[in-house]
Amino acid sequence: MPAISFSGTTSRGPFWLQIFRHEKTQTCRAPRADGRDIRKGDKVILYWKQRMPIKKKPVHLIGEAIVTSAEMHHYMSFAYDDAFARRDGFEDHLELQSWFGSPKIHGHELYNVIQFDVYSLAALEMICKKCGWNKITSVPEERVCPKCQGELLILTAFFGTQSFKIPTLRMGK
Ligand SMILES: [Zn+2]
């Protein structure tokens, strides 16, 4: 199964959390030198910073997804598109441009625009720092503790039969 590794954080949060919330459903990747680009219909496994040691990050495996669309587009064709930018995890096209560079300089660059539909997510163990309320979920909707409004931390990510101990991650924002 081809892998896609994510590492970005935007004003809307880290990409892994945006994928958990089904907010980020798209990624743009440079064409591969070997021609083995991800294609429509591929099942893909999504990682957060795939090569970073597991102990140093909140999540390793994010989940599995099916690629619903994969097309080559020039940067210029999406550099001013707010809806495109939102699908990709940015607030708007200006934030997208701050990542991809000036369209005047980089507009000709080609990207494989991959849209994906996540069908399996890792589970997260969340705990309240103040009262100890906890929950295991793949839907990290709460931003603060529902019992005491305390700060929530993510402790562990599970995926299938594996579990990953993780450093605490604040759920605020
Ligand atoms: Zn609490």
25 and 78 assigned to the same domain: yes
87 and 109 assigned to the same domain: yes
32 and 105 assigned to the same domain: yes
Q: CB under 8 Å to 18, separation ≥6 — which residues?
A: 10, 12, 24, 89
89 and 61 assigned to the same domain: yes
**Cα(173) to centroid(ligand 1), Å:** 17
DSSP string, the chain: --EEEE--EETTEEHHHHHHTT---EEEEPPPTTS----TT-EEEEEESTTS-GGGSS-SEEEEEEEEEEEEEEGGGTTT-HHHHHHTT-SSHHHHHHHH--HHHHTT-EEEEEEEEEEEE-EEEEEETTT--EEEES----SB-TTT-PBEEEEEEEETTEEEEEEEEE---
**pLDDT value of residue 170:** 57
Predicted model pTM? 0.79
129 and 99 assigned to the same domain: no
**pLDDT value of residue 101:** 97
**pLDDT value of residue 126:** 82
**Cα(136) to centroid(ligand 1), Å:** 15
Q: Which domain holds residue 156?
A: 123-170
85 and 128 assigned to the same domain: no
68 and 137 assigned to the same domain: no
Task: Report every protein residue that has its C-beta within 5 angstroms of ion ligand 1.
Answer: 128, 130-131, 133, 145, 147-148, 150
Q: For residue 110, what is the domain's CATH number? A: 3.10.400.10
**Cα(131) to centroid(ligand 1), Å:** 4
**Cα(149) to centroid(ligand 1), Å:** 6
**pLDDT value of residue 173:** 44
What are the 10-residue block averages of pLDDT along the chain, 173 residues in total?
Answer: 94 91 95 96 93 78 92 98 98 98 97 94 83 84 87 69 50 50
Domain end among 102, 121, 140: 121
| Amino acid sitting at position 142 | E
